[in-house]
Amino acid sequence: MSSTLRAIPLYLEDLTPGMIIDAGPRTVTREEGVAFAQQFDPQPFHLDDAAAKNSLFDGLALSGWHTAALCMRMVVESPLGQIASGLVGIELRSLRWPTPARPGDTLRLKIEVLGTKPSRSRPGWGTGELRWVVRNQKDDIVMTMENTIWAACRPAL
């Protein structure tokens, strides 16, 4: 990890293209997976082994929204969580789940900074483009996405 990201707090200028930020790992239990699904995505393939076996998932799978929310928590606890203005998303693009995450999986992710630019509409602010790649313990990719975030520029001294 770049030593740049040890500065706290971070500003737009601290995000440079090609920088990679690691987040996680986080192991998710079966109980957590079922509890999330009961609350937000109560479909048989997220709740019941037998039903899941006969579904597209061929076995119990986490809700994709649970995978995404777990990743958000890992990122908030990563160096990116030190952005002075917080992690505030403007847009997500092309969020996919190539392989389902499953109860018991250990997830970790790498975020690449694709670029930044100053905001035209909001002086003192800019936007960063990030690519997220999330893998399980077998190195299967369980989620990918790109997003745009707000970040405050470093204040003048």
| List 64, 106, 108, 131, residue binding a second copy (CB under 8 A) | 64
Distance CA 16, CA 116 (A): 7
Identify which of residues 3 and 25 has a Cβ nearer to a second copy in the complex: 25
Distance CA 131, CA 16 (A): 13
Distance CA 116, CA 128 (A): 4
**Residue 62: how many CB atoms within 10 A of its CB?**
29
**Residue 134: how many CB atoms within 10 A of its CB?**
25
| List 90, 115, 118, 140, residue binding a second copy (CB under 8 A) | 90
Query: Is 68 among the residues that bind a second copy (CB under 8 A)?
Result: yes
Query: Is 134 among the residues that bind a second copy (CB under 8 A)?
Result: no
Contact positions vs a second copy (CB under 8 A): 39-45, 55-57, 63-65, 68-70, 72-73, 76, 81, 85-97, 145, 150
